[in-house]
Each structure stands twice: as structure tokens, then as C-alpha cells.
Structure 1
Amino acid sequence: MRELIPDARRALLLLGGSRQQVVAIEVARKCGYRTVLCDYLEDNPGRHYADSFHLVSTVDREAVLEVARREEVEGVIAYSSDPASPTAAYVAERLGMLTNPLAAVEIMSTKSLFRRHLHEVGLPCPLAASFEAGASAAEVECLVEGFRWPLVVKPTDSSGSKGVSVVTEPTQMPAALEHAGANSRNGILIAEEYIERAFPNVVGGDIFVVDGMIRFWGLMRCLRDSKASLVPVGKAIPSGLSEGQLSKVKETLQLLVSSLGIRFGELNVEVIIGDGDVPYVLELGSRAGGNMIPVQLGDASGIDLVRANVMCAMGDDPGGISWDPEDVYFATHVLHTLKDGTYEGYELSAAAEVACYREVVYQEAGAPVHHFDGANKALGILFFEFEKQESFEDYIANTSNHVRVMVDSSTDGRK
């Protein structure tokens, strides 16, 4: 029998092994770290890449802490995961590892706490009211008395636009509350004023903080399907903001990062430009963005953000992290369908086919697929690079003419 040799590599604990998180496991291994994975799903893809796997929920703080102690890890990361981010900060604080403050991570991970923080530090925020998921429509309408309609109703702890509804009149409130409640883990919902946009796109993407200062500005315009308007279907660089709008957004985000005491790492942002070019920060996620945003930004900037995240979590220097987009034209498209059925593939226009340089497809032909009402229903992601701004703008304005997903709806999503 071959003698087992102890693995002396420094260990990194990764929380979550979904398809989008596998990239962090692979990069960590390339960096020379031993990878320890926790996930509550036994069949998660990441377990086939990690050095060791523990069937543990990433939101069970004490169980994850026990794994971290047993495996003697030196760092912990919740790559691209909102629910697991507070767990990562908790474990890191308990074990004296490098982390952003747990209190700040909890604020960023809970919309009601985040809105309260914005108000307390004097940054723009919509009027909002939080309440338990069991509240009746009549009770919520009393809470929002004096608010300007429409309202946005959503869970305080979800991501990827899951459970979000825009309510234009009181008769829609019961359905919105039911939808939000079904997607809530903590049982707390929020209703807030809908912000009318002075800039046509929501501004999203990721920023990277080094020593408390934002050094990497991966701000992009969020692309949405007009028939599924609340769920992002891609990101495009550059953001399209004017110089004045961009300056205000940067100033607001830096003030917010400083007020939270964020020291390092990649943060996911979502900003709406309201009347008077006032930037409203809807989200400041305590982790890298989903839909492979770090990969897209890495392609555009030449900076490996996944590697930077991994190295920061281990307390190692990630090297130079500094970037502001200039003369680059990149976009992603989240493959999706607005009807249930069987996936039959996708087609690209001639121009899109030339621009497409990477495809990541989650579903095989013949697989059942469902109406796109959240990021978890994505079928894959396409990556595009355009040589000229004209072709880039044409793609953004006419995406449905450039990408077509084929679904046989006669099967109704059943094999």
C-alpha cells in the first residue's frame, strides 16, 4: 500500500461549488493552494475540481468554521455568492484571517440594512420599508403611505433579481408579496420607491478595492430583455456614462466603501442614475459579480480578477490592480428563454458570430428549460469583443436580432 504523504500546501476554503464558482477553484489550484470546498449539494460540479470536499451548507457558520479548523486553512472565500459571504467573513474573523468587517458584509448582504446605512451616512437612497414576509398587502400599504409609486417589492437577501416585482397599483401587491416571500431565506421583505432613470441603463459591474481605495473601475451598462426587464441578460463595456455622471458615480462609491470600512477585494455594484444625475447605489455586493463578470472584465483589462480575489483571501499580494476602461468594446449575453420547453440551441447573426470569442453553455440540446425570471435560469453566457464602437452599439441596440435561442415549447419544459 502506498504511504500517504501529507499535503503541505497552504489551504484555501471555498464556499460554493456551482458552475460559476468552479473557475475560482481552478485558479486557486494554479496558484499552488490546496483547495477545500464546502457545498450543501452533493452533486455540485466543484467537488470534482477541489482537493477535498465537505457536504456542509455554506450558510451554516459553525459547521463551516469547524471545517476550516479541521483543514487548517489560511484563507476563506465566498466567490460570487451572496448567501455565503457573511459566513466567509465570520469564519475569517474567528480565525484571525484577512477579511473585511463582518458587520459591513452583513450590511451589504441584506437590503434593509443597506438602505438604512445609506440613509445614515447621507448617501442617496429611495424611501424604503422592510417587514416580515407574512405581512398582508393592507399592512404593507400602510407602511408605504406617502411613498411615490410605482414600488419595487423584493426579498432583502436574494440576488440575481429573484423575487423582485414592480408594483404599479395596490391590486398587484398580494402577488408581489407572495413572489418575494417565496424567494426569501430570512423572511424579511422590502418595498421601496421605484427610481426613474435619467440614464437609460442600470450601471453595473465590479470594482476592486486595495487598501481601502477603489483601484479597478469595471463599471458597465446592464443589458436587459424588454420582456424580462428586471433580470440582467448581459453587461457591456464601456458604461456609456458622461464624464460628469461617471465622476459622481465614482465619488459616491468611494464614499460608500470608506463608510463601510472595506479594505480589499472585488465588489459587485448596481447603480441607477436618477433625476439631476444623482447616483443611487442599489447594490454593493460583498463578492465578485455573477454571470462571469470577473472573467469578462479580465478579458477587457488584462487583469486576472479571479486570481486577485483568491490571493487576497489568502493574504497574499495580488500585484497591480488598477484599471479604467478606455477604447475597449466588450459585451456578454446570458442565453435565456421566455418560455418553458426543450432547448434546441442558439443562432448568431454573421456580425455576432465574428465578435463572439467564448461560449459557456450550461444546457445540452434536448434539456428542459424554463422561463427566465432569475439568474439561476440562465442557459449559458456568450462573450463578445467588437473592433469598432459602431458595431458594439448596434449589437446593444438590437441584441434580439443578433442572438436567437431556440426552444421547442410543445414539451412545456418536460422531457
Structure 2
Amino acid sequence: MMKKLLMLGGAPSQIPAIQTAKRLGYYVITCDYLESNPGHQFSDEYHNVSTVDKEAVLELARSLQINGIVCYAADSGAPTVAYVAEKLGLPSFPYSSVELLSNKDQFRAFLEENHFDVPKAKGYSTFDEAVIDFDTFIMPVMVKPVDSSGSRGVTKIFSINELQDAVTEALSFSRTKRFVIEEFIEKTGYQIGLDCFSVNGQLTFCGFGNNHFGSAVNPFLPIVDSCPTYFSTHIQNKVRNEIQRFIDLFNLRTGPTNFEIQIDRNERVFILDMGVRNCGDFTKLLKYATGVDLIEYTIKAAMGEDCKTLRDIEPKGFWAIYSIFNEENGILQNIQIDSIFKKENVFEYVESVSKFGLPIKANENLGNMVLTFSSMKEMLEKINNIKNLVKVVIKETSYFD
């Protein structure tokens, strides 16, 4: 009899994991509250159950007698995965660890208690609570929902006059209606994005990337990830040591993690954010750069299979993945790609063709490009000029007025 894998979600970004699980020979069941999600057409069975409803997913998992559960490339379902797995005795990270990691204020407090380098931070439920402490923070500060992902609801502010709007924005993206204020870190070099995997509690794979920002709509959301890393082996080893210490403290045995890390001018390592999941697009990029299929290992870990063959492999060549966003409301006319850039650097291009000629809103993802380069210099120069090489052409419309 085929083993059953319950996968939370069927969004476009989760299709690669569904297809990988099928290729590995599992009976794949998907669930979420959007029957129209395209991933469900690739699974063997679909159930309309919200991925954040832990008890409903547990009831579904029991009735289906599943052998494993996973939520690929999405933070929202991570607590559900850990909760259900713990109740049914299936492989996963501890629910208590995942729950703590899913709340930024508790996460920051834990890091500070365990002597990680952290910015001054505190969580609140209301604007009035935050005002009382506001003068104790050094400006500028970041105001963030405690439980959102994708940099949604994040604002950088410089005075108390901006606090009310920032709190309103953060709370609009928080399921638990809480937000955190934290002091801004002046980083050196690029923000580091990492796709990692631990086996039996040991950091076995650590894929380093450079996060590149540049969205006018959301300046805190990376639009390009590139590798190999800009940082020296010395800095990479410092980062690895901190991640291993993190894995030990949270008892993260076998499975994927991703981190966003900044290095300051004193070479201090700040863990800004982390998730108990793969990075999605960056995971795909690392497969091209290293040959390592982290999606396959994630599925195997969820099904209790041996992952000891995984090895840390340095990337070969120079790679990037660009998420194409439009920056204004209107009718999408076309996406113009520089002809030389397209010929020399575009390795793979997936676009949302159905949107052409249709109204779209600012910050919609129009697709992504896997890019390859001949050197670090060429890679960084062209990424810095990416919006001139790939132009989103929008026709203004009163559709959204």
C-alpha cells in the first residue's frame, strides 16, 4: 500500500513539492480553504480544510491515516504541521519550538535570553501600550506584525508621529493582533538569506544567498536572491555556528529551516527572522547552483526516511532568481526584456501570461526569472540594474478608483 502524505496548501509556489512527492511514489493529499488553488490538480486527493485550523487538520489526518505531513514554502501552516505530527507521532520539529518561532516578540525574547545578538525589541497589542515605551528605543525602529511573513505589514519609522499609522498597518496583517517594535540594524554588505537543513540535530546543508531589495511598494521584501554569498568564509563560519546553536536550543532534529540574517560593522550576527520550512524560489535556485534537491529531502524527512546522504555543497557558477513585481495599479501591457540580457543571462523564465491585458494591483507577482552570470561582478552589476533590463509596462486606468 502507498504511504500517504498530507500537504498543507496548493498555491503555485507549492506545486514543486506536490510533484516531488508524487515522483517519490507517495499518495499525496492536499488541503486548504481555496479549492481553486492550482496545486490541487497535481495531488491524488483534495479536502477543503483551512491549513491554520489545527484541530480540523488533525481530524482530517486521523481519518486519512496519513504517514507524514508537510507545509512547503509557507509559514502559516508550520504550527499546524508540528501540532498534528506531535499528536499522531509523526516526524516533525517540536510543536512548542515551532509555536514560539511563529511569534516574533517571543522569538526575540528567547534569542536575548540565550545570548544571541539581537536588536532591542518588545511586543504589544495596542498603540497606547507602545507609546509608553517608545522613548526607550533608539530611532529608527521597525514596526512588524508578530506573525506575518513576506515582510507584509512592516514599516520603518523615525518618530512617534509615525507610530499610529505603522501600528495600524502591522495589526492589519496580524492574525493574533499583536506587533513588535525593534531597533533598526545598520548592516554591512547584503542581508543574508539561508536555506538550511539539519539531520539528527546537525546542520548538514547551509545554502547562503544575498538578498537584494528594490521594490517601491515594499522596500523590505527581497526581489532578487543571488548566490554564491558575498561574505567571506570567516563570516560564513560565524553564521553556521550561530545556526547550529539555534538548532540545538530549539531541538530541531531533521528538516528544513530558513533564516534572514544581517551582519553589522562589528561582525555581529543578527538573526532577523526564521522559518521551519524551505524558501521556495531560493530552494529552486540552490538546486541549479549545487545540484541538491532540498524539496526531496523535506518530503523524505516528513515521511521518516533516512536523510543521511545530504551533504553541504558549494554553489558552482553565479546564479540569481528575480521575482517580477509591478509597482502600480493598471492594465498590464507587457514585460520588456533587454535582448542581450535575455540571451546571455536568462536561464529560465516563468510568467503569469494570463494577466496580460487585465487589471492588476501594485505588488502582484508577475512571475520569476532564473538568471546565470559569468562572474560575481557581472551578477551584482546587472542585479542593481534589473529594472532597466526587465521593464513592466503598465497602462494607467481608473479601474481601481
For the aligned pair, the TM-score class normalised by the smaller chain equals: over 0.9
Q: 1:359 to 1:413 in 2, by over 3 A?
A: farther
Question: What is the CA–CA distance in structure 2 between the aligned matches of 1:205 and 1:410, rounded to whole Å?
Answer: 40
Question: What is the CA–CA distance in structure 2 between the aligned matches of 1:321 and 1:144, rounded to whole Å?
Answer: 47
Aligned to 1:153, what secondary structure does the other structure show?
Answer: strand
TM-score, structure 2 normalization: 0.95
The answer to whether the Cα contact below 8 Å between 1:19 and 1:45 also exists between their aligned partners in 2 is yes
Residue of structure 2 aligned with 1:267, choices 232, 257, 275: 257
The answer to whether the Cα contact below 8 Å between 1:92 and 1:98 also exists between their aligned partners in 2 is yes
Residue of structure 2 aligned with 1:188, choices 167, 172, 178: 178
Aligned to 2:243, what secondary structure does the other structure show?
Answer: helix
Aligned to 1:103, what secondary structure does the other structure show?
Answer: helix
The answer to whether the Cα contact below 8 Å between 2:224 and 2:321 also exists between their aligned partners in 1 is yes
Asked if residue 217 in structure 1 is aligned to residue 206 in structure 2, the reply is yes
Question: What is the CA–CA distance in structure 1 between the aligned matches of 2:151 and 2:387, rounded to whole Å?
Answer: 21
Asked if residue 25 in structure 1 is aligned to residue 18 in structure 2, the reply is yes
Aligned counterpart, 1:153 = 143
Figure out how many residues of one structure are paired with residues of the other and give that number: 398
The answer to whether the Cα contact below 8 Å between 1:352 and 1:384 also exists between their aligned partners in 2 is no
Aligned to 1:344, what secondary structure does the other structure show?
Answer: strand
Q: CA deviation at 1:186?
A: 1.0
Q: CA deviation at 1:413?
A: 5.4
Question: What is the CA–CA distance in structure 2 between the aligned matches of 1:276 and 1:305, rounded to whole Å?
Answer: 33
AA at the equivalent of 2:361 = H
Q: 1:335 to 1:243 in 2, by over 3 A?
A: same
Q: CA deviation at 1:140?
A: 1.0
Q: 1:275 to 1:35 in 2, by over 3 A?
A: same
Question: What is the CA–CA distance in structure 2 between the aligned matches of 1:156 and 1:363, rounded to whole Å?
Answer: 35
Alignment RMSD: 1.6
Aligned counterpart, 1:371 = 362
AA at the equivalent of 2:314 = P
Deviations 1:355-409 (A, max 9, x none): 111122235212322222xxxx322111111133332122123222222112212
Aligned ranges 1:281-320 → 2 under 5 Å: 281-290=271-280, 292-318=281-307, 320=309
Aligned counterpart, 2:96 = 103
Aligned counterpart, 2:69 = 76
The answer to whether the Cα contact below 8 Å between 2:227 and 2:315 also exists between their aligned partners in 1 is no
Q: CA deviation at 1:325?
A: 2.7
Q: 1:326 to 1:50 in 2, by over 3 A?
A: closer
Question: What is the CA–CA distance in structure 1 between the aligned matches of 2:316 and 2:294, rounded to whole Å?
Answer: 20
AA at the equivalent of 1:58 = T
Identity of aligned residues (%): 31
Aligned counterpart, 1:198 = 188
Q: 1:402 to 1:323 in 2, by over 3 A?
A: farther
The answer to whether the Cα contact below 8 Å between 2:286 and 2:315 also exists between their aligned partners in 1 is no
Aligned to 1:366, what secondary structure does the other structure show?
Answer: coil
TM-score, structure 1 normalization: 0.92
Residue of structure 2 aligned with 1:232, choices 216, 222, 227: 222
Aligned ranges 1:47-86 → 2 under 5 Å: 47-86=40-79
Gaps of 5+ in 2: none
Question: What is the CA–CA distance in structure 1 between the aligned matches of 2:107 and 2:359, rounded to whole Å?
Answer: 37
The answer to whether the Cα contact below 8 Å between 1:265 and 1:309 also exists between their aligned partners in 2 is yes
Aligned to 1:231, what secondary structure does the other structure show?
Answer: coil
Gaps of 5+ in 1: 1-7
Q: CA deviation at 1:174?
A: 1.0
Q: CA deviation at 1:329?
A: 0.5
Higher deviation after alignment, 69-78 or 323-332: 323-332
The answer to whether the Cα contact below 8 Å between 1:237 and 1:325 also exists between their aligned partners in 2 is no
Asked if residue 383 in structure 1 is aligned to residue 370 in structure 2, the reply is yes
Question: What is the CA–CA distance in structure 1 between the aligned matches of 2:28 and 2:153, rounded to whole Å?
Answer: 33
Asked if residue 349 in structure 1 is aligned to residue 338 in structure 2, the reply is yes
Deviations 1:202-232 (A, max 9, x none): 1113111111111111110101116342111
Higher deviation after alignment, 379-388 or 226-235: 226-235
